[in-house]
Amino acid sequence: MALADYKTALVTGASSGIGAAVVTALRARGISVFATARRIERLEALAAETGCTPLALDLRDTDALYDTLGGLDVDILVNNAGLGRGFEALFEASREDIETTLSTNVIAAAHVLRAVVPGMVARKCGHIVNLGSIAGLYPIKSSIYGASKGAIHLLSQNLRIELQGSGVRMTEICPGRVETEFFQVAVGEEAAKKAYSGFEIMVPEDVSDAILYALDTPWRVNIGTIEMTPNEQFTGGVTIVPVARD
């Protein structure tokens, strides 16, 4: 299986949630992992627990990103870092939240790919995993976050074409609601409790299991997109809201 041929990995957004679960799962399979995030205390705790190599880095600092990641030779990239600032309607969002979300979820993700993927292509071996979202596949009531994940979806689809003949595989994981800090950051503690109430949501290990499945398929297989939601979360449908007019 392909995972046995991989030796090293880079996981962004590794200090908590899905990123930390992926680091733990990869280390359990004997992969050497570079774990990057902004919160050095969390990274050091993860390193003590798993034996990963912590790299404290704000991915929006593009110069630091290339200085830190440009020299890494890794077989696996899990492009996981992201957030949902400005989760309210676009016309209510602050300029700062728009900038933070798009610069983190789209621009930084693209720079991480630019820093790491050339080495994979040169070695004709590697696997890229981009963390998308069902918000990038279906309409939601958050234009900014939805647009950022829609960009990741098409980036992943187009990058798959660009990688033809390189030996590098490309997977996008599109989860629904997962029990992480995402909603606390996006909408605050109380609203997050409502978002997580009423049904059983996924846990980070569910997503890391899907990532390892994609990584561990035979070389003849490329898992392009995995869409996964809690059993009781559904997408699509039509909502009709009458508008009162004077």
Active site residue 138: no
Cα distances (Å, whole numbers) of residue 121 to 74, 113, 126, 241: 11, 11, 8, 50
* Under 8 Å between Cβ of 201 and 230: yes
Return the DSSP state at 105: I
Residues 152 and 172: their CA atoms lie apart, in Å, by 8
Which residue, among 240, 229, 238, has the nearest Cα to 206 in the 3D structure? 229
The encoded tokens of residue 193 equal 């409790």
Q: Which of 6, 66, 145, 196 is catalytic?
A: 145
Which residue, among 34, 82, 79, 76, has the nearest Cα to 55 in the 3D structure? 34
The encoded tokens of residue 180 equal 């992480």
Active site residue ranges: 145
